[in-house]
């Protein structure tokens, strides 16, 4: 059984990534590839966008993956980049509007659209699986939803990569497979009632909230939903309290790891078998990992995290 170091969203923060790998005991081999004598890394996606060093981040992750030192999953930012580049019906699957250009700006500055290295990066993103599972552990970028994973099974290769037909299916925004891909890579959401809207951490106007799918199905809506870092008023919270947000997400019996959710504070399990590893490095937080050694119940002592600066590694 592999001993895995499971690493959350990086978003172009190569300094933090190198600091975290050093804290985990990885070092460069003669070819400059990070490796560990006894362990492999499992990256949960979102290598690009936001941060200052997209190219070096991809070089580190790609070289480790190529040499078998790491497994790299697809995040929603890699998926979005593919859709931004993919043409369909005379346009693009992901619109080239100001909001989307702004989201991809850091990546496009280092990988200009249409350049050879841009196309090479997009091809690599296409090669990334959307889920990882063994007898002892499971991982996905945003949401381990068994129903959604079953829905897209015909669109996956044996090793969990999206087939070309998956992008055509995703372009049909009314289809069940579009909804399933959205859940797996971006997490489930619920529409908000009229009069309840907010701006998220990036200043974008939102009319839906993310569901904390790992929470108890009987939890009140204000604990089960999140609002992108927005501070809501008392009237808005009262409206949330009146919402019905009951949708179960059955968990597998094994530990499940994911990223995507912009956690704050000290990394810790969300439940005895559930852990998020996105601790907001792109917003001044930390880059986090969990050292999984085959245990069925997660242990807070197995988290390792670093600050955005290269010298701030700590357990």
Task: Give me the residue spans of the domains in the chain.
Answer: 4-157+252-314
Q: Is 249 helix (H, G, I), strand (E, B) or coil?
A: coil
Matching residue, tokens 């204000």: 222
Q: What is the pLDDT of residue 250?
A: 83
Instruction: Give the separation between CA 146 and CA 251, rounded to whole angstroms.
Output: 8
User: Could you give the CA distance from residue 166 to residue 158 in angstroms, rounded to a whole number?
Assistant: 14
Which of 178, 171, 175, 155 shows the shortest CA–CA distance to 91?
A: 171
Can you give the C-alpha Rg of the chain in angstroms?
19
**pLDDT tier, 165 (very low <50, low <70, confident <90, very high otherwise):** very high
In order, the DSSP letters of 35-68 are E-SS-EEEE-S--SSSSS-HHHHHHHHHHHHHTT
pLDDT at position 225 is 86
CATH class of domain segment(s) 4-157+252-314: alpha beta
Q: Please give the Cα distance from 171 to 193 (Å, whole number).
A: 27
What's the whole-number mean pLDDT along residues 189-209?
80
CB 96 within 8 A of CB 40: no
Determine the Cα–Cα distance for residues 193 and 170; give it in Å rounded to an integer.
26
pTM here is 0.93
Distances (CA, A) of 141 to 22, 23, 138: 23, 23, 11
Q: What is the DSSP letter of 269?
A: -
Kindly report, residue by residue over 237-284, the tens digit of the pLDDT.
888 888 888 788 887 789 999 999 999 999 999 999 999 999 999 999
Alpha-carbon distance of 56 to 54, in angstroms, equals 6
Average pLDDT over residues 41-46: 98
**DSSP alpha helix (H) spans, 187-249:** 221-224, 234-241
List, in sequence order, every residue forming a beta bridge with 258; answer none if it has no partner.
276
pLDDT, tens digit (0-9, with 9 covering 90-100), for 209-230: 889 999 988 888 888 888 777 7
Instruction: Say if CB 17 and CB 306 are below 8 A apart.
Output: no
Which residues pair with residue 92 across a beta bridge? Answer: 87
Output the pLDDT for position 314. Answer: 38
| Average pLDDT taken over every residue of the chain | 92
Rounded to 5 degrees, what are φ and ψ at 175?
Answer: -85, 160
Q: Helix, strand, coil % (nearest 5) of the chain?
A: 30, 20, 45
Cα pseudo-dihedral 53, 58, 61, 62, rounded to 10: -160
H or E stretch at 186: helix 176-186
pLDDT in tens, 93-137: 999 999 999 999 999 999 999 999 999 999 999 999 999 999 999
Percent of the chain with pLDDT over 70: 97
Q: Give dist(CA 52, CA 281) in Å, integer.
A: 12
pLDDT above 60: residue 207:
yes
């Amino acid at each position: 059984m592999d001993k895995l170091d499971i690493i959350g969203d990086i978003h172009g923060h190569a300094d933090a990534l190198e600091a975290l790998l050093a804290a985990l005991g990885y070092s460069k081999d003669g070819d400059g590839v990070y490796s560990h004598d006894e362990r492999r890394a499992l990256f949960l996606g979102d290598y690009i966008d936001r941060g200052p060093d997209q190219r070096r981040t991809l070089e580190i992750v790609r070289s480790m993956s190529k040499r078998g030192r790491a497994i790299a999953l697809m995040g929603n930012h890699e998926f979005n980049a593919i859709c931004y580049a993919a043409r369909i019906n005379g346009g693009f699957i992901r619109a080239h509007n100001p909001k989307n250009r702004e989201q991809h700006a850091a990546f496009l500055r280092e990988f200009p659209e249409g350049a050879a290295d841009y196309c090479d990066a997009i091809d690599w993103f296409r090669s990334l699986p959307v889920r990882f599972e063994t007898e002892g552990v499971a991982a996905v970028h945003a949401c381990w939803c068994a129903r959604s994973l079953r829905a897209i099974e015909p669109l996956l290769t044996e090793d969990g990569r999206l087939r070309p037909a998956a992008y055509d299916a995703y372009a049909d925004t009314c289809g069940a497979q579009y909804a399933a891909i959205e859940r797996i890579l971006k997490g489930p959401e619920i529409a908000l009632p009229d009069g309840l809207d907010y701006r998220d951490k990036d200043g974008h106007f939102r009319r839906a909230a993310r569901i904390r799918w790992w929470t108890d199905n009987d939890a009140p809506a204000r604990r089960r939903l999140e609002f992108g870092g927005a501070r809501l008023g008392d009237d808005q919270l009262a409206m949330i309290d009146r919402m019905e947000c009951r949708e179960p997400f059955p968990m597998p019996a094994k530990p499940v790891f994911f990223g995507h959710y912009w956690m704050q504070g000290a990394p810790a399990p969300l439940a005895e078998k559930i852990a998020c590893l996105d601790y907001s490095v792109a917003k001044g937080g930390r880059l986090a990992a969990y050292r999984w050694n085959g245990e069925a119940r997660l242990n807070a002592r197995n988290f390792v995290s670093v600050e955005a600066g290269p010298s701030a590694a700590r357990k």
